[in-house]
Amino acid sequence: MSTPLLTIRGLQAYYGTTHALKDIDLDIEAGGMFAILGPSGSGKSTLLRVIAGFEQAAEGTLELDGKDLLSLPANKREVGLMFQSYALFPHMSVAKNIAYGLEAEKLSRGEIKTRVAEAIDMIGLGHLADRRPAQLSGGQRQRVALARSIVKRPKLLLLDEPLSALDRQLRAGMQSELKRLQRETGMTFVIVTHDQEEAMSLADSVALLRDGQIEQLGTPAELYEQPNSRFCAEFIGSSTIVEGKVVPEGVQLTGFGALPLSVPADSQTGDTVLAVIRPEQVRLTEDAGAGGSQLFGTFEGASYLGGAADAEVRVADAVLTVRCAAMPRVAHGVKVGLTLDTADIRVIAA
Amino acid sequence: MSAPSMSKTGSKVLSRIALALLYIFLYVPIIVVIVMSFNSGRSVLRWEGFSLDWYVKAFSPGPLMSGLQVTLIVALASTAIAVVLGTMLAIGVHRYARGPLARSLATLPAFIPDILLGIGILSMFGLAKAAIGLHSVILAHASFEIAIVAAVLLARLGSMEKSLEEASTNLGASGTTTFMRVVLPQLAPAIVAGAALGFTLSLDEFLMAFFTTSTNSQTLPIQIYSMVRFGVTPEVNALAAVMFVVSLGAVLLAQRIVMPLMFRRKP
């Protein structure tokens, strides 16, 4: 395996008096998109600011391409940062904004001109080069902010909540644009976000942060399908978490009966465990008398998703969300049949 | 026309009249001064014909001209000091001050009664056994102008996006480059506005200048005051008219810059 681009070891940092980062170890490989995901207060913003050089680390090491970053001032690190607010200079034109970082490097006028022109072309805003940021739309501003960072060819580009300021229609477009820019430049993009959808759709790998520590690290699919904790299961995607006990034939879920679920390797009969049931792991049979159903529940309503629907079905104390191909035609309070994909349901230690 | 709409029109007319009366109350004295400055006679009450004589007289060498010279020197020098120190003060308070006390103390001198500042500066010079004169007036005026410049700049700094400086740093710029190319251009309109306000207030400041000056460096307001003690002379009218136009220009300039600053939302 090649050496990682960014190596973080034993990183500790304080934000005011809060212990914001507690012993972070993380490797980020060169190329591709990495996401640092976490709720507010998880320490992800502190981590971003420590990498960029705007906050001090109390302990630990931070190496970019084998070079120590913590001893370098913020303006000498080869780490780009796209701010959530974009932070474009309002008194400068698009072209001037993009040229700013190259002028700071004291490159020749000719080279600056060529590289700015390339960058503006890359984001497709050649016709707006002389506009001020205030005259641009949100999506255009974001592209300028990206170009301003990319034109400096940093080894690593940090993106702070890159999609959160955009409305729904723009998000999908910007999502593929980010992927395209990452591919074309070959740079390593690190997205820092609280939005699991943003992280899941963009990144190849995700580090989920909780309370200043890495809760789980993996591909989006791993985090979704094999969460290691209740926190991860609840934070990523939707799920219903049902408590149960390990029995010889699988798991005895409260109100569900015994189900043939695979349990964590270190668990023993009698241990309390949690089953993470995702909406697509449950199938609903409207006619409870049709037979073949594993268990029964009470229909409590459904919401239409466009092309699919999520039904709410109560089984004992739990309310399962069930993904249906079409809106179920069942009245509220009616008994329905349920079948679980027992092979896919993840069971974690309580 | 129905009754309610009639009374509505009526009250509209009434408020217009009230507004007009208010403006008359505010500006009639100034208009009288300006009109009488063109009077050919010596009387300040009776119009005797149009003439520019008093302007010629006001601007020929004499106490008024020496006063104007002192006033302009004081206003320019104190504004220059205030722009530099007020900007430094505002940035320092904005960056490093914890809590509202430092912030209030930075802008308070703009609101302290002039007489207090005047006496204070006079006694300070007395304590230090230093001579008073042009320099003490300049310092006295600078003291409240610093607070004015700082107040305007603090308002601007409060609405300025903090990440702009960080973005500049992230793009490889040094602290000096960031200040010159990002912070200063953002502050420039506020600095001009603060300077214009300070300059205008210094032009006609009387109390502090009266307390802190010596007999050979009397500012224009003091010269005028000593002249009108024996009755208003028409050349004072002429000079006052010129000063009014200059002040109005400075205030309009400041307003054009300050108002958008105060009411503009963050981008």
Gap from B93 CA to chain A (nearest CA, Å): 20
At A53-76, the pLDDT tens digits run: 999 999 999 999 999 999 999 999
Gap from A76 CA to chain B (nearest CA, Å): 6
In which region does residue A155 sit, left (phi positive, over 0), alpha (psi from -120 to 50) or beta (all else)?
alpha
Cβ pair B170:A91 closer than 8 A: no
Quick one: pLDDT at residue B4? Answer: 55
How many residues are recorded in chain A? 350
Q: Is the pLDDT of residue A218 over 90?
A: yes
Q: For B161, which of A74, A87, A105 is closest by C-beta distance? A: A87
Q: Where are the domains of chain B?
A: 60-263
Cβ pair B170:A89 closer than 8 A: no
CA nearest neighbour of A222 among A242, A202, A201, A206:
A206
Quick one: pLDDT at residue B262? Answer: 52
Substitution target in B160, B171, B174, B261 with the highest count of A β-carbons within 10 Å is B171
ipTM score assigned to the predicted complex:
0.87
Substitution target in A51, A55, A91, A137 with the highest count of B β-carbons within 10 Å is A91
CATH of domain B60-263: 1.10.3720.10
What backbone torsions phi and psi does residue A53 show, to the nearest 5 degrees? 95, 15
Mean pLDDT of chain B: 87
Cβ pair B172:A54 closer than 8 A: no
Cβ pair B267:A133 closer than 8 A: yes
Cβ pair B167:A81 closer than 8 A: yes
Q: For A134, which of B164, B171, B267 is closest by C-beta distance? A: B267
Using CA atoms, how far apart are residues B179 and B200, in angstroms rounded to an integer? 28
Residue type, position B183, single letter: V
Q: Enumerate the H helices of B204-233 as residue ranges.
A: 207-212, 220-228
Residue A57 exposure: Cα atoms within 13 Å on the Cβ side:
28
State how far the alpha carbon of A232 is from the alpha carbons of A8, A14, A191, A200, in Å.
Answer: 22, 24, 18, 13
At B1-56, the pLDDT tens digits run: 455 555 677 888 999 999 999 999 999 988 988 888 898 887 767 888 898 888 99
Q: Is the pLDDT of residue B265 over 60?
A: no
Q: Is the pLDDT of residue A1 over 60?
A: no
Cβ pair A52:B170 closer than 8 A: yes
Cβ pair A134:B182 closer than 8 A: no
Using CA atoms, how far apart are residues A101 and B174, in angstroms rounded to an integer? 11
At A116-171, the pLDDT tens digits run: 999 999 899 989 999 999 999 989 999 999 999 999 999 999 999 998 888 888 88
CA nearest neighbour of B267 among A167, A170, A135, A162:
A135
Contact A340, A250 (CB under 8 A): no
Is the Cβ of B191 closer than 8 Å to some Cβ of chain A?
Answer: no
At A8-67, the pLDDT tens digits run: 999 999 988 889 999 999 999 999 999 999 999 899 999 999 999 999 999 999 999 999
Averaged pLDDT, A272-292: 89
At B110-146, the pLDDT tens digits run: 888 888 988 999 999 999 998 888 999 999 999 999 9
Q: Which residues of A touch B (CB under 8 A)?
A: 52-54, 74-76, 79-81, 83, 85, 87-91, 100-101, 104-105, 133-134, 148-149, 152
Q: For B169, which of A74, A85, A91 is closest by C-beta distance? A: A74
Q: Enter the DSSP assignment of B183.
A: I
Contact B118, B179 (CB under 8 A): no
Strand partners, A193: A37
At B67-106, the pLDDT tens digits run: 999 999 999 999 999 999 999 999 999 988 878 898 889 8
Strands A156-160 and A6-15: unpaired
How close are the terminal C-alpha atoms of chain A, in Å? Answer: 35
Q: Is the pLDDT of residue B261 over 70?
A: no
Q: Which residue of B has its CA nearest to A101?
A: B171
Contact A309, A315 (CB under 8 A): no
Is the Cβ of B119 closer than 8 Å to some Cβ of chain A?
Answer: no
Percent of chain B residues topping a pLDDT of 90: 41
Q: Is the pLDDT of residue A104 over 90?
A: yes
Burial state string for B187-210 with b = 16 or more CB within 10 A and e = fewer than 16: bebbbbbbbbbbbbbbbbbebbbb
Q: Is the pLDDT of residue B267 over 60?
A: no
pTM (predicted TM-score): 0.81
Residue numbers in B near A88 (CB within 8 A): 167
